[in-house]
Structure 1
Amino acid sequence: MSRPLDRARHHLKAHPLALDAVLAAGVLACMVAGSFVEPHDQDAVSWSIRTPDLLSLVLMALAALALVFRRRAPLTVLALTGTASIIECVTGDPRAPVAMAAVIALYTVASTTDRPTTWRAGLLTMTVLTSAAMLAGPLPWYAQENLAIFAWTGIGATAGDAVRSRRAFVQAIRERAEKAERTREEEARRRVAEERLRIARDLHDVVAHHIALVNVQAGVAAHVMDKRPDQAKEALAHVREASRSALNELRATVGLLRQSGDPEAPTEPAPGLARLDELVGTFRSAGLPVEVARADHGTTLPAAVDLAAYRVIQEALTNVRKHAGTDAKAEVSVVRVGPNVEITVLDDGAGDDDDPDNGGGHGLLGMRERVTALRGTLTTGPRYGGGFRVHAILPVKTRAAARDEPGEPV
């Protein structure tokens, strides 16, 4: 039984003009039925006492016909039904309930327009119809029928305004829910993009560093294989060590993509300046003289800053080894300056390729992204007299670490 009713309700919602026509027919039936009621019987309401005159029937039909178009032109329909009600109040004796159509039209105005329009239209309709009924009608001004017009028009305006407010409230909730859903999706896409970029930087740093060392050592081994097999064996050992280190770091980086709780996920912390000597040793074993000067002893860096400093030095030395020439030397300094730690990598290379990113790589871009993400600054460029300089300034305390610190006592 409910299924046919649901289909009929959906059909009427899809065809609002048909719904208004059905409503107009119902209102017309109620007005015609009410016009046969004798309101002055003292004992009870009696039927078939009187028959409405032709003018009343015409006014009722016109008012009901106007209600068919109440959604398209609510104010115009209110004016037409109000005019018909005024004419009936003045000429009807006894009066027919044409004002019922004006109440429905006023409800439509209140439910489809804004509140100021509802107030103006409601007060005007209540005042005009009630005044016409009290002053020009055949009944005494204090009759219940006159007061009923005032009450019903007020109820129509109030009910329409309540429906409009409820619709606006539901629409606002729906819009907020849709906005929240879009915001969640955008935030998820942003986080995915940031994670992909971070993993891409890590992979670039790991692969570029170790593969460059493998390439150098393999070239050395191939060059001295016949004449100095001992040196070739040592170079191949360095190749094996660099390959093992590359595999370990790749395994650690790719492990970040594993699901949480995976027993094969890496548990070793990310590299930092504590492993700087080990990093420099790999370059020295590849034939790049590197001098290290540190003035940051006792400084504890946040994990993100520590990793960024390590990667900047790693990428800068890799670029020196790849682009600065075979006779180049490098200098690395790590200095604590106030609230920052400054990383400087210098070389005196005289290679043909002065720009480390001429080959279309992403080394300098990756370093800049890392430093900028921590609200630091990165300066790169050729040195006067030859060579290249990489200078990074990183904050010792990130904003997240600063928020976690307890405040000073008052």
Structure 2
Amino acid sequence: MSTNWQRRAATRPKAVEAAKLVLLFALTVAGVLLTWAVLPERPALWPGILLSALACAALHRRRSHPLQAFAVTLLCTMGLGAVGYLLTPGVMGPLLVAQYATSVRTPRRTTWNSALTAAAGMVGAGLFGRAFHGSVILVVVNPAAWVLLSAAFGSYIRVRREYAAARAEHAAREREEEARHRVIQERMRIARELHDVVAHHLTLADAQAATAAHLSRTHPEQAFDIIGRLPETTAAALRELKATVGLLREDTDTADLAPAPGLRQLPELVDACSAAGLEVTVAVEGQSRRLTPVLDLTAYRIIQEALTNVTKHAATRTAQVRLSYTPHYLTLTVSNDTAPDRPAAAPGPGGGFGLLGMRERATAVGGTLHAGRRPQGGFEVSCALPLDGHSGGHPDSDDDSHDHSHDEGPAT
């Protein structure tokens, strides 16, 4: 049930975002009503609800314009304090969410400048608001502490995501270096075989020619027989020479000049899967958009790894790839059905690092990835990647405060 819900949430980011903002508005209004009920001098109720609605609406832009959303929520929260409301965590909910989003998406210096500004605003609203009755801890220290705590938590998540991105990049670089080293070793082995095999054929051909010349006067029949077998020897030498030199002719450093793969290579990937016996169908929904190089590479690698897992582990020989473009997200879905004669086999926990690598790639660009068995059978990998170009933003996090980099699925 949980996997099914997560898959639906990943494919409907707009609906999930709207539900989260409505829920946050309800919690904020509940905090306003509770504060209004307990204060001896009750402030006007409608300004509190209006300012709460404005603050929650501003959070819709927290991913694309975090500082602007933070400024609006800060002014609304200070307005609540000036009207006479006690600034509790419930009343300050939109500000805390905006502060967290700002801390996740902005540099360290900007994060703490905004946090100190918000803390000063909370102190001013508490001291000069009508809710101040001499309790410094309740109306001054408590709001400022919550703002600083939200900023610290956002900074911690930003550092974790930067570390995950660096780790994924380092792992990819190590794999590329290891692959290049293996290629060089293989070419050295081919060079040794070039000497051993081709030289053998040429030496044999030279010996056959010399023997035929020696027997041409005394035993012409044997000489003709040797000459008749000579083309076979030279042909074998030419085949060995052509195959070996063809490999050695490739430039060792061409990988450094080749462009990084992306979704434009998806047809070639589908053809390669077809050659391996896996029939892949691709469906594109929405208007295609030009992706950044990092996002393009991430989308391609996730699809490539998912199809590789289907080839290695699935009992079926078909797979479906769906790319769904929305104004702010690219959703990738790779699924396969269960073979009619036997259920799909999934490796046990710890069987590999395929899902971990895909999840780290998605997390590094601010996306989410969910994988698991489908209710109707088979396996599905669903990934939502943000198209706004803001690294570190989770498209399905409530207030961007949840890190999904350790959500485990079946290992592949």
TM-score (norm 2): 0.49
Which protein has the larger Cα radius of gyration, Structure 1 or Structure 2?
Answer: 1
TM-score normalised over the length of structure 1: 0.49
Q: Which has the higher contact order (CA 8 A, sep 6+)?
A: 2
